[in-house]
Amino acid sequence: MFHQKLKFLFVILTLFVFREAISQNQMKLIYNAKIIDVKTGKISKHNSILIENQTIRNIGIYKKLKNQATERIDAKGKYVIPGLWDMHIHIEGQDLVEDNKALFPVFIAHGITTVRDAASDLGLQVLKWRDEINEGKLLGPTIYTAGRKLEGLNSIWKGDLEIENETQLAQMLDYLDSLKVDFVKITENTLKGDLFLKSVIEAKKRGYLVTGHVPYDLTINDLANEGFSAIEHASYLLRLGNDEITTKKGILDGTLTKAQAEKDFLLNFDQEKATKAYTELAKRNVAICPTLIGGKQLAYLDENNHKNDDFQKYLTKRFMSNYQWRIDRMANETPEQKQQRKERYQLIAKQLPHVQKAGMLIIAGSDCAALNTFVYPAASLLEELELFQKSGMKPLEILQSATMNGAKFMGKFDKTGSIDIGKVADLVILDENPLEDIRAVTKTFGVFTKGQFFDKNALNEMLDLAAKKKIELDKSRE
């Protein structure tokens, strides 16, 4: 009976979206709202948003719009922002299909209406989910995905598209074309710098946004010169406070190890040099997705073992078992190494105000994944935004990084990412003002997405269902 009821509730949640997707002339009015313009930081004099199905049709005074509405939603004088974007997640694990799927409503419950999946071994399934969500058949955040990423032979990551020459590169890009991926992701576990750079060049020729890591045998400038779209992880920015060319030469001729290079990046960091480099990258439209939260969780693991984290009630034992590999890898670190890890995280975090001032596009992303220890799906983005604030970024800048900047990066700002007439009605109603304190994004009153408004009770029901699904999956695997 319990399983049947749980299945029924999940079906109902899914049909909410499907019903709205096929309904016509549904005119809903959110009124009595403080509407935040994320472009300027101003709160609109108008207090009502008229929505037809999934599109914002008008913004104005309640008296002028109320008669057009078939349904009215009282925002109770609270703050309305665009739906949040998590610009770096991994929906991963061939043995975690149901585990991941059960978390989609959890993103919605946290106000996250769009995500960018940065590739995984579950890439084909994610592409299917992407389309099902777009078609209104599945409840979840809008997904942009790289599907599977490019790597060298014998990569440690599962599901990579491994290449060792330009012929194979062309074949894999053809394959990604056939999948209709939203961007191309490249990492450097075993992929050599010359082929990595060629991958950037060829993917750009095909019109893709290209993002990824930064190999030791390339410089960030090498990548920027070829139109690299975004650097994933702010940890790579430490290279810009050093002489990257010398480091690259040392790696190539074998006189410098990667471990020594990383140590040098930290100990010899020159802020003035780095800030100048950020300005140059901004001119070439290279964005940065910082993903601070992962480094922070590992750096302070000796101070917080996360055993009492409430979010774990949504994560299966199988999902969380993946966390252990990073914990084990750090088990024998000396006190000096632990302190160096903290100092490295702190220096990386300090870069964000400099990056912002330099004009680089900052796109907020969590890097939540089964393989990323205690970086929880959905919740970690909200933690990431708080870390941005602690770093010295202003609340408006942070809000922009998690809304309009993602849309700008993906080339979708004409359709989404802000509260404007004609744009997609992905909206979050907050109890408190995020322009005063970004932690207000944790105070969710309601979410409007995929043509459906979910009030606080509905959002709590989503979370309750996710917690019950976790229990069901765990029991089925005993």
pLDDT score, position 26: 85
* 3-state SS track over the chain: CHHHHHHHHHHHHHHHHHHHHHCCCCEEEEECCEEEECCCCEECCCCEEEEECCEEEEEECHHHHHHHCCEEEECCCCEEEECEEEEEECCCCCCCHHHHHCCHHHHHHCCEEEEEECCCCCHHHHHHHHHHHHCCCCCCCEEEECCCCEECCCCCCCCCEECCCHHHHHHHHHHHHHHCCCCEEECCCCCCHHHHHHHHHHHHHCCCCEEECCCCCCCHHHHHHCCCCEEECHHHHHHHHCCHHHHHHHHHHCCCCHHHHHHHHHHCCCHHHHHHHHHHHHHCCCEEECCHHHHHHHHCCCCCCCCCCHHHHHCCHHHHHCCHHHHHHCCCCCHHHHHHHHHHHHHHHHHHHHHHHHCCCECCCCCECCCCCCCCCCHHHHHHHHHHHHHCCCHHHHHHHCCHHHHHHCCCCCCCCCCCCCCECCEEEECCCCCCCHHHHHCEEEEEECCEEEEHHHHHHHHHHHHHHHHHHHHHCC
d(CA 329, CA 420): 48
Res 329 pLDDT > 70: yes
Whether pLDDT at 406 is above 70: yes
pLDDT at 10: 52
Q: With a cut of 50, say whether residue 195 has pLDDT above it.
A: yes
User: What is the 3-state secondary structure of 58-78?
Assistant: EEECHHHHHHHCCEEEECCCC
Which residue, 73, 86, 103, 61, is CA-closest to 452? 73
Q: What's the average model confidence in pLDDT over 86-101?
A: 98
Question: 81-91: string of b/e by CB count within 10 Å (b at 16+)?
Answer: bbbbbbbbbbb
Q: Does domain 83-409 have CATH number 3.30.365.10?
A: no
Average pLDDT over residues 393-420: 98
Residue 16 has pLDDT above 80, yes or no: no
Give residue 21's pLDDT: 44
Computed over every residue of the chain, the mean pLDDT equals 94
- Residue 24's pLDDT is 57
The residue behind tokens 């000096």 is 336
Q: 169: pLDDT confidence band, cut at 50, 70 and 90?
A: very high
CA–CA separation, 73 vs 424, rounded Å?
17
Strand pairing class (84-89; 230-232): unpaired
Domain boundaries, the chain: 2-81+419-476, 83-409
Of the candidate CATH numbers 1.10.260.40, 3.60.150.10, 3.40.190.10, 2.30.40.10, the domain formed by 2-81+419-476 belongs to 2.30.40.10
Instruction: Report the pLDDT value the prediction gives residue 47, as an integer from 0 to 100.
Output: 94
User: 3 pLDDT band (50/70/90 cuts)?
Assistant: low
pLDDT recorded at residue 141: 98
* pLDDT bracket for residue 331 (50, 70, 90): confident
pLDDT at 399 over 60: yes
Q: Distance between CA 359 and CA 407 in Å, rounded?
A: 17
Residue 322 has a CB neighbour count (10 Å cut-off) of 18
**24 or 172: which carries more pLDDT confidence?**
172
User: Does residue 294 surpass a pLDDT of 90?
Assistant: yes
Judged on CB neighbours under 10 Å (0-12, 13-18, 19+), 310 is exposed
Count of all residues that appear for the chain in the document: 478
What pLDDT does residue 13 have?
Answer: 53
* Mean pLDDT score, 373-394: 98
Mean pLDDT, residues 197-217: 98
* Cα-based angle 50, 52, 55 (whole degrees, multiple of 5): 90
How far, CA to CA in Å, does 225 sit from each of 150, 280, 391? 20, 11, 29
The answer to whether 2-81+419-476 and 83-409 have equal CATH topology is no
24-69: per-residue pLDDT in tens?
A: 568 999 999 999 999 999 999 889 999 999 999 999 999 999 999 9
Parallel, antiparallel or unpaired: strands 287-289 and 79-82 = unpaired
Rounded distance between C-alpha atoms, residue 363 and residue 403, angstroms: 8
Judged against a pLDDT cut of 90, whether residue 209 lies above it is answered with yes
What is the radius of gyration, based on Cα positions, of the chain? 22
> Between the ranges 301-305, 322-326, 377-381, where is the mean pLDDT highest?
377-381
**Interatomic CA distance for residues 54 and 424, integer angstroms:** 6
